[in-house]
Amino acid sequence: MKGQDNPELILSNAVSKDFKKGDILLRTGDYSEVAYYVEKGCLRSFVIDSKGKEHILQFAPEGWLISDLEGMVNKKSSNLYIDAIEDTTVRILKGEERFVPEVLEKPVLIELVQKFQKRIFTLQKRVIQLISATAEERYNDFNLTYPDLANRIPQKMIASYLGITPESLSRVRKDISTHK
């Protein structure tokens, strides 16, 4: 969830931590009440389906927030992974501070409500696109949602996020460049 409006209140007493490219922050089976605010670098969350295929739910470059909401809502272990695509510096928002709403201060709750609304809006847009747009249209929208990210991360990850194969994305990019 995007946060270029810096979430000062939520971050006020969050500690920093560094991860190396490839480090896994959360794996299936883990239980986590932690959320990460990315200061530098890029994280991703993804699931692995029954056929062993990876599906990327979200990228989190600078200014984005990423977490395992399902685990936090259901108070049970996660079915998703979060890992670092680049060397990344995060601020860690602990569960006690953040995801047991009862103990949060009102101004922090307000910030949360607003962040959640944005995330819901983003996800709704993605649902509509998956339903109605072609691979090419979705790739173009990816570039609007995550400016410049296409130059930083492997194409196969973009393909996974778009819900197409790397081969198809390669062809889509070819079409865009040759003609347009």
CA dist 8 and 115 (Å) reads 12
For residues 103-118, one letter each, b for 16 or more C-beta atoms within 10 angstroms of the residue's C-beta and e for the rest, the string is ebeeebeebbeebeee
Q: Which tokens in the block code for residue 144?
A: 């609007």
The entry of a copy of itself, DNA, none near residue 169 (CB within 5 to 8 angstroms by kind) is DNA
Among 32, 41, 78, 126, binds a copy of itself (CB under 8 A): 126
* 110 in Cβ contact with 48 (< 8 Å): no
Instruction: Give the nearest distance from C-beta 58 to a copy of itself in angstroms.
Output: 8
Q: Which parts of 40-99 interact with a copy of itself (CB under 8 A)?
A: 47, 49, 53, 55, 57, 69-70, 72-73
Contacts of 105 (CB under 8 A, 6+ apart): 9
Q: Does 6 bind a copy of itself (CB under 8 A)?
A: no
> Considering beta carbons, is residue 113 or 128 the nearer one to DNA?
128
**Amino acid identity of 20?**
K
Which residues bind to a copy of itself, rule: CB under 8 A? Answer: 47, 49, 53, 55, 57, 69-70, 72-73, 101-102, 104, 106, 109-110, 112-114, 116-121, 123-124, 126-128, 130-132, 163
